[in-house]
A and B are shown apart, each in its own frame.
Chain A
């Protein structure tokens, strides 16, 4: 169908400009994708359990994680725009590369909004209490206990060692119970 036409110097110039533009868009896409993926994976990598956290690395992790929800969203949207522009001009392999990268970016943007630590250690949603006489707890079990005036509460350590954090109000005082 297509008949190769002899290229004019004008055409060559246009092609050259196109290539240069496309290179810039690829660079921008790579930058956005790295930013989005880094915003999630760098803090996740630093704050791994059973690993040493150096003070400056921890600061970096918190700073990135703090900005990740908004940052991954902006970077992700920008990626999408660049990918859209590139899509029509590229071959199958590059399309696949774009698609995989976009998947990683989307994953990062979603994970930046989810607290995976709470998947391992679920929080207590709406803590329930029972009178001590009704508790089936073994008398030898350890509890953490607080008291404000006549309001006494016990938090079994076997439970707190799993949940780790509990928000409670005892005798009108808001407390965070941690183990």
Chain B
């Protein structure tokens, strides 16, 4: 923040989205927004870094020299291999009755120039690749070859909007997995780069996206729309 490195620690919970404080100033920050909500730096926002939610297998093939956080021996018993179903069982304290989704429905949430949209995970996983447009930006949401990883790209090749579809019989076979675009008929991998065809070597732009529960996404993005088929 302003050239100063801050170190964060867990400091509390706000409707099941945690609060952290930094050791340097004691400011309180909201996890999901990166906003300073109280304290000396109130009003500031941390810069969101582009990140991925991938399977270890997918990440490993993409990052041969990558490093993995080692488990802390003291706490390995605390790590819950079943974290996803276990968290899903926890009660919720805020809900949005009358909205399209249930509180614990998983969505992919993204924001383009202040316009938020949520993509229900189930719909997305069935339809992938999903082509959409938010605030004028053409989007491509892709489920990875492992059926669990996901990425969101700007669906534009050399400034021209493009459409993509999954290559023929690739759905069941991770090794054959590739996207094809309708304008140049090039093959694209899950990293969003063309591996063969006229566009070879080109890569699509990325959009940060968050896998979240509907109640949490809706709470912080009251104006969000929900993607429908």
Q: Which residues of A contact B (CB under 8 A)?
A: 43, 47-53, 58-59, 61-63, 65-66, 115, 117-118, 121-124, 127-132, 135, 137-147, 150, 152-167, 173-176, 178
Q: Which residues in A have their C-beta under 8 angstroms from that of B90?
A: 50
Known: A129-B70, A146-B49, A159-B71. A49 touches B9 (CB 8 A): no
A127-B69, A152-B67 given as contacts; is B20 within 8 A of A178 (CB)?
Answer: yes
B111 at the interface (CB under 8 A from A): no
Pair B10/A165 contact, Cβ less than 8 Å: yes
Knowing A53-B15, A178-B20, say if A152 contacts B66 (CB, 8 Å).
Answer: yes
| A-B complex: 7 closest residue pairs judged by Cβ atoms | A139-B57, A152-B66, A152-B63, A129-B67, A62-B38, A128-B70, A47-B12
Is A164 in contact with B83, judged by CB distance below 8 angstroms? no
Q: Could you say which of A53, A115, A153 contacts B14, with CB atoms under 8 Å apart?
A: A53
CB neighbours of B18 from chain A (8 A): 164-165, 178
A132 to B9, CA, bound (A): 27
- Inter-chain CA distance A151–B26, complex, in Å, is 30
Provide the bound-state CA to CA distance between A66 and B53, in Å: 34
Q: State whether A132 touches B68 (Cβ < 8 A).
A: yes
The answer, yes or no, to whether B55 is at the interface (CB within 8 Å) is yes
**Of A51, A53, A142, which contacts B56 at CB under 8 A?**
A142
**Residue pair B80, A156 in contact (C-beta under 8 Å):** no
Out of A156, A176, A178, name the residue touching B68 (CB < 8 Å).
Answer: A156
Shortest distance in angstroms between B120's beta carbon and chain A's nearest beta carbon?
19
Across the interface, which residues of B come within 8 angstroms of A176, CB to CB?
A: 6, 8, 20, 46
Q: How far, in angstroms, from A124 to B78 measured CA to CA in the complex?
A: 13
- Residues of B16-74 at the interface with A, using a CB-CB cut-off of 8 Å, are 16, 18-20, 26, 28, 31, 37-39, 46, 49-57, 59-60, 62-72, 74
Q: Is the CB of B87 within 8 A of A161?
A: yes
Tell me the smallest distance from the CB of B54 to a CB of chain A, in Å. 6
Asked whether A52 lies within 8 Å of B56 as measured between CB atoms, the reply is: no
Chain B residues near A53 (CB, 8 Å)?
Answer: 13-15, 93
How far is A41 from B14 in the complex, measured between Cα atoms in Å? 17
> Using Cβ atoms and an 8 Å threshold, which residues of chain A touch B170?
none
Please state if B63 and A147 are interface contacts (CB–CB under 8 Å).
yes
- Which residues of B lie under 8 Å from residue A165 when comparing CB positions? 8-10, 18, 20
Q: Is the CB of A138 within 8 A of B56?
A: yes
CB of B7 within 8 Å of the partner chain: yes
B159 within 8 A of A: no
Which residues on B sit within 8 Å (CB–CB) of A122? 72, 74-75, 78
- Please tell me which one of the listed residues B10, B49, B68 contacts residue A143 in the complex, with CB atoms under 8 A apart: B68
Nearest opposing residue in chain B for A170, CB measure: B49
Q: Name 21 interchain pairs, CB-CB below 8 A, sorted by A.
A: A48-B13, A50-B91, A53-B14, A53-B15, A115-B10, A118-B10, A123-B10, A127-B69, A129-B68, A132-B63, A132-B65, A142-B148, A143-B54, A153-B69, A157-B53, A158-B83, A160-B69, A161-B80, A164-B18, A165-B20, A167-B8
A140 touches B55 (CB 8 A): yes
- A106 vs chain B, min Cβ distance (A): 23
